[in-house]
Structures are given as structure tokens and as C-alpha cells.
Structure 1
Amino acid sequence: MKTLSVVILTKNEEKNIVEVINNARKCTDNILVVDSGSTDKTVFLANECGAEVVFRKWDNDFAAQRNFALAKLKTDYVLYLDADERMSDELIISIKKIMKQDRLKQYSFIRRIKAFGFEYEHGIFKPDEVLRLFPVEAVHWENKVHERPVCCLPIVKLAGIVDHYTYESWQQWLDKAGNYTTIWAQDSYNNGKRAGASVAFFHGIYGFFRSYIVQLGFLDGWAGMYSSLQHFFYTLIKYWKLYELTNKNQNKIS
């Protein structure tokens, strides 16, 4: 029987932390919360629920938070959950079955996004397949934002889904978009990526087209329209911030 830990990254998640821990406990009692400096009751509630809580100072690097957790684990496998995600009973059963098998794989499942009071079927928020379950020794994460796992093992898709209860308001989306685009732009610039103003507008327009037309966002009605507009704005802003960095540093050189 393989052992499993569930890792949850947090920052001011008192609204979600109890429910996500209770959901995770249906798979395992080994629950690790990596907190990045919550000022609400997140840490207190996580401790009350019996989770192990560790602290890592936030440095605008989601991959570093996830990799930090790996060094703390003593189990065979790790499952990553966001605080606003909930596993279905079918997915929990699938994970339990995996822990009884003697095979080395990485595992994915379908994530269904619920945002602004709407369950999306198309567009940028359509259900997607995410890799979240790995042997601890076989994975590491890269990219400061929109981080991705690096694992060479074969992928197996599990039955069941995880519901992602994401943005409740435009302000919440704006706050995250502002933070994420800044991190992306700085990281991209540091890695040698450059952009001009026309490139920023092209990526924004293409982002809307891909979400609304290619990914059939129009089939979600008004929800599909404003999620596609959000994606236009998000994509434009992240490339515009990269353009500002490019322009600023070119002026310094000249």
C-alpha cells in the first residue's frame, strides 16, 4: 500500500481551509499546508483540523512553494490541491485504488471551473485536464506563475473530477490578474523574452479570438463573452507589462 500526502498552498484562505482539509482527509490523514503569511485565521483553522502547517515566505514564485513542500514529505505520493478545489467522490475512490497498486505513474484528472456564479463548459474556463498526483521523488515544478509539473513518468487519467470554485467577483479577479501578470512579465523578461506594443495587442486580440471562437466560448452566452473579454485584458496586460520592462531597460542602455 502506497502512502499519500495532500499539499495545499494557502494565503488568507480561512473561507476555504476547513472544507478543503475535510475533503482531502477522505484520501489521507497526511495533509501539509504551506502557508505564505496569512493574516486571517487560515493557520489556526488548519491546525485545528489536524493538518501540518509550514511557512515559506512568499517571493512571487508558485513553483518554489510547491517544490518546498516536496522536501517536507515522507510519503510515496503527493497530491496537490488548491484551497478552493473539491474532489468528487468518484475521484477520491480512484485515488484510493491507485494507492493499492504497485506501479510508478503520474496521474491527471478533469478540473471543472465555477466562477462568477456560473459553471463553464467552453472558452478559457472550460473543463481541463490537470496533472496533480505524482510519486514524490519523480516530480518538480517550474515557472513562477502558471507553474507546471515536470515528471517523466507515463500519464494515467483518473475517473472523477475536481470542482474549482474560483473567482466570486470582478474585484477578486482583478486583484489576482494584477499580481499574476506582474510576476509573469518580470519572469519572462528575466528569461530573455521581449515584447513591443503591437505584440501586446496582437496577443490580447488572439487570446479573445481563441477563447470566444476556437474554444467555443460564445456557447456559454454572456458568461462566455465576459470571460473571453477577461482573457483579452489579462493577455494584453501581461504582454504590456513585458513591453514596459523592455522599453524601460532599453532606455537605460541607450
Structure 2
Amino acid sequence: MDMNVKISLCMIVKNEEDVIARCLDSVSRCVDEIIIADTGSSDRTKEICRDFTDKIFDFEWTDDFSAARNFSFSKATGDYLMWLDADDVVSSENIGLLKELKKTLAQKNPDVVMCRYVTSFDENGTPLFSFFRERLLKRTANFKWEGFIHECISPRGNIIYSDFTVHHKKERGAGDRNLRIFQKKISQGVKLDARNTFYYGRELCYNKMYAEGAAVLERALDMDLKNNRNEACLFLYDCYNAMDEKQKAFLSLCRSLEKGPPRADILCRIASVFKARRDFETAAFWYDAATKCGDMSARGEFDRAEFRTFIPFVELSCCYFYLGDKKKALMFHEKAKSLRPSHPSVLFNERFFGAQ
């Protein structure tokens, strides 16, 4: 491939005047073309975008995110298509990685580049929640977005993984927008596949419709649910817990252990059940097991790093104190302190151990 690989940034936007300049300013110097598909902005979004590109297109919103993204892709001319949301940011460190990635594109000629997506941070800016997404796609491979909501592209061909990372700095939630889209599509007779059944159940849970959410999530787990299986178990746990059905909640966590290696955040929740029963020995076993879990994001899983380190360290400190092993309790407190010294739990425990 020509060493002068061109990247087209493709975005769909609507009423993003508060964040769009931050996003485009962070990445505009490293892409060769910017495509904006506006789905009906009534604020200054398009005006701000004109400071970065003249390739701004109107797209009539049809409650279908894939249709909008595919439209934006259709307007691009670069060798690779890269997508961002308006509230995404590319850090200065990752700008350097993107420049290096351009060289890799020329050398390896991949069809898909999987990149880490960080969507949550602690008080120090350290990533807490991340996963890999299909971030750059070869234009001539004719990839298409699928799914009217929580849209995605199924990777195929020559797939590579990159250290290039995008930070999602969400400024506002979607409210009940996603739930309304699901309900509208269902009323129109749209049949949900396993993945969208999970996401529908999640939206019901987010909107505190716990009984309905539990029923939908149970249905999703009975379908051929792959990458989202563990998430479905977690949200099912939340639904049953909110309904005070403790045994069903606990069994929901256990279902996640039926297939594939265990995930740290689930083991920590299992541990919390035993801690609530004041069975500190069993709780410590599960918290310790969580510290031995690996990062499974390359397997398509969500990764919550703090559940492998900080959270079990804090909880193990508590468990061992109640088990009478103050030496171990202090050791795990120091481990937690080394990671997040200003966290309220660490500050509380620091005062507590100081008074012993």
C-alpha cells in the first residue's frame, strides 16, 4: 500500500455544540478528511464544525444509528475510515500513537484496526472501564454498520490490535432515548437478536423497570448471547437485587461462571454477597480470586481494571481485619493506598489504622 495512507474521520452529530470543538481539535491534525453527518442540530454544531471541515452533510434521523453511520462512511474518500463520537477525545499521547498507526497501516494493510476505548476514569484520570472497538476500517472492504442502536461492525479479514486509545468524556446521558427507540422498533414488529435483547434489557434496568428488565435479560441469556453474556448476568443481578430477590440475584452471578474464564467484577460481586452475610473468610476467597483475573478486553469483554486491583484490595483489608489478621489487613490497605491515595475509602482506613 502507498506509504501516504489517508484517514477519513467520519462522525454523526446532533446538538453537540458543547463538545464537538474539543473532539475535532484533539484529532484534526492527524486525519486527512473529516466527514460530518448532522442528524438535525438546532444549535451551533454545524457552525463549529465548519472551522474544521467543509464536508458537512444533513441526514434525516430515522431512529437508526447504523443508517446514519453508513451514510457518513459513504461520503468518505480516504484509505481508512475512522469513527468518533462527539464526546470522544484523543489525548496528546495518543496523537503520537495515531501517527505511528498510519505507518502500520501502510506496512500491514489491515482490514480492521481494533483500538481500546476508555469510557470511565477515577479521580486521578486513570482509566477504569475500557474495551476494544473496531476503530479504523479499510474503505475498499465495504464494511457496513449493523443494528439500529448500539451499532457495530463485525470485524473480518486482516485484523490487527493497536495501542491507540480513544477517551470517551461523556457530558450528558441519553435519558430514556434508547429505551424509546427500542419500544418503537418492537411496536413496529422488529425482532430483536440476542445482542439487542440484552441491550433492551439493560435500558429497562437503567430506567428502573426491573421486573421487565429481568424478564428480557433472562430471555437474552437463553439465546445465543456471546460477548455480552457476563454483562447480562451483572444487569440481571442488579434487577433482582433491586426487587429484593437476593437468591435469584446471587444465582445470576453464578450463571456467568458457566462459560469462559471468570471476570473480576463478577467475582467481586459474588464476594460482596458473602461479605454482607459477614462470612468474611469466603468473601476474602472471592476477592482474592478477583485479583488473579486478567484483562479480557482483547476477548471482546468489557474491562473494569479497578475490580482486579483497587476494589478487592480495599475489601480484603476489611475482611482480614474482621478475621483478626491485622497484618494482612494493613498490607492490603497499603496496596489500595498506593493506587488511589485520595479515595474516600483509603482516607477513612488510613485514619482507622492510625487510631489502632
TM (normalized to structure 2)?
A: 0.52
Q: 2-side partners of 1:191 and 1:136: how far apart? A: 30
What letter matches 2:151 in structure 1?
E
Q: Secondary structure at the match of 1:163?
A: strand
| Alpha-carbon distance, 1:116 to partner | 9.6
| Change beyond 3 A, Cα 1:38–1:158 | same
Equivalent residue in structure 2 for 1:3, among 6, 15, 19: 6
* Correspondence list, 1:175-190, <5 A: 176-187=174-185, 190=189
Equivalent residue number for residue 190 of structure 2 = 191
Equivalent residue in structure 2 for 1:214, among 257, 261, 266: 266
Q: 2-side partners of 1:161 and 1:53: how far apart? A: 26
| Alpha-carbon distance, 1:101 to partner | 2.6
* Correspondence list, 1:27-176, <5 A: 27-87=30-90, 88-101=94-107, 103-114=109-120, 126-138=129-141, 139-166=143-170, 168=171, 172-173=172-173, 176=174
**Residues paired across the two proteins, number:** 212
Equivalent residue number for residue 230 of structure 2 = none
| Change beyond 3 A, Cα 1:207–1:60 | farther
Q: 2-side partners of 1:104 and 1:73: how far apart? A: 18
Q: 1-side partners of 2:186 and 2:238: how far apart? A: 18
What letter matches 1:179 in structure 2?
R
Equivalent residue number for residue 201 of structure 1 = 214
| Alpha-carbon distance, 1:212 to partner | 9.3
Query: RMSD over aligned Cα, in angstroms?
Result: 3.2
| Change beyond 3 A, Cα 1:207–1:70 | farther
Consecutive unaligned residues of structure 2, counting only runs of 5 or more, are 202-209, 218-234, 240-252, 257-262, 269-303, 312-356
| Change beyond 3 A, Cα 1:43–1:186 | same
Q: 2-side partners of 1:145 and 1:23: how far apart? A: 26
| Alpha-carbon distance, 1:99 to partner | 4.0
| Alpha-carbon distance, 1:72 to partner | 1.0
| Change beyond 3 A, Cα 1:206–1:12 | same
What letter matches 2:191 in structure 1?
G
Q: 1-side partners of 2:98 and 2:85: how far apart? A: 15
Q: Secondary structure at the match of 2:153?
A: strand
Q: 1-side partners of 2:267 and 2:29: how far apart? A: 34
| Alpha-carbon distance, 1:39 to partner | 0.9
Q: 1-side partners of 2:126 and 2:266: how far apart? A: 15
What letter matches 2:150 in structure 1?
H
- Worse-superposed segment, 134-143 or 150-159: 150-159
Consecutive unaligned residues of structure 1, counting only runs of 5 or more, are 222-254
TM (normalized to structure 1)?
A: 0.71
| Change beyond 3 A, Cα 1:150–1:201 | closer
What letter matches 1:201 in structure 2?
A
Q: Flag the structure with higher strand content.
A: 1
| Change beyond 3 A, Cα 1:37–1:154 | same
Q: Secondary structure at the match of 1:82?
A: coil
What letter matches 2:78 in structure 1?
T
Q: Contact 1:90–1:161 at 8 Å: present in 2 too? A: no
Q: Secondary structure at the match of 2:22?
A: helix
